[in-house]
Amino acid sequence: MAIKVHGPMMSPAVMRVVATLKEKDLDFELVPVNMQTGDHKKEPFISLNPFGQVPAFEDGDLKLFESRAITQYIAHTYADKGTQLLPNDPKKMAIMSVWMEVEAQKFDPIGSKLGFEIVIKPMLGMVTDDAVVAENEEKLGKLLDVYESRLKESKYLGGESFTLADLHHAPSLHYLMGSKVKSLFDARPHVSAWCADILARPAWSKTLELSKQ
């Protein structure tokens, strides 16, 4: 049964799922969802995700939503395919899980606000709120200090191997590293090297290629 990902490639959450599938060398069908016309709030999409948010995911008769739940399903179910994205050791798994939580609870809220203000708003002809940008730049700087300390200890957040904890950051990093806040990452050498590593991965390049189609 074919894997299907429902949603537009410009969505960071959709990119997160697609990057995981690319790391696993899995075939899938990308089903477009026109959010400008509100298709994500209507049938048939609303049957796949009752919250009306992208992405939605199908693997045979299994239907999922929430991008991080989807990536974990893919990593566990297709563990023998492509890149191993999960540690086998329980302690390493726990460390990875900590940093997955940090991404979801701390990094993503800040990154999403900055991305909206300095990337999305200009694209839509809207005015950037400089106060919101300044507030979140300060928050991001403090958070990246914690990342810098962690990445002095290991190449990746979960240890010496690339895992979902790193992959989950890729969409926001992609947008932020193309903006003025790139300087916050560049000022921290271990964070900067980590970003460069993640964004240079072949699976991420393939994800970006798909977003340009």
Q: Within 13 A of 60's CA, how many CA atoms are on the CB side? A: 3
| Cα 33 to Cα 38: distance, rounded to the nearest angstrom | 9
Where b means 16+ CB within 10 Å and e means fewer, 7-24 reads bbbebbbbbbbbbbbbbb
| Cα 213 to Cα 210: distance, rounded to the nearest angstrom | 5
Q: What is the pLDDT of residue 88?
A: 92
Amino acid at 113: K
Q: What is the pLDDT of residue 1?
A: 56
Q: What predicted TM-score, i.e. pTM, was given to this entire model?
A: 0.94
Secondary structure of 6-62 in HEC code, one letter for each residue: ECCCCCHHHHHHHHHHHHCCCCCEEECCCCCCCHHHCCCHHHHCCCCCCCEEEECCE
Would you report the helix, strand and coil content of the chain in percent, each value rounded to 5? 60, 10, 35
3-6: strand order across its sheet: 29-31, 3-6, 56-59, 62-65
| Cα 69 to Cα 95: distance, rounded to the nearest angstrom | 17
| Cα 25 to Cα 48: distance, rounded to the nearest angstrom | 24
Backbone phi, then psi, for 156, in 5-degree steps? -125, 170
- 159 has which bridge partners? 156
Local confidence pLDDT in tens for the 213 residues of the chain: 599 999 999 899 999 999 999 999 999 999 998 777 877 887 888 888 889 899 999 999 999 999 999 999 999 999 999 999 999 999 999 999 999 999 999 999 999 999 989 988 888 889 999 999 999 999 999 999 999 999 999 999 999 999 999 999 999 999 999 999 999 999 999 999 999 999 999 999 999 999 877
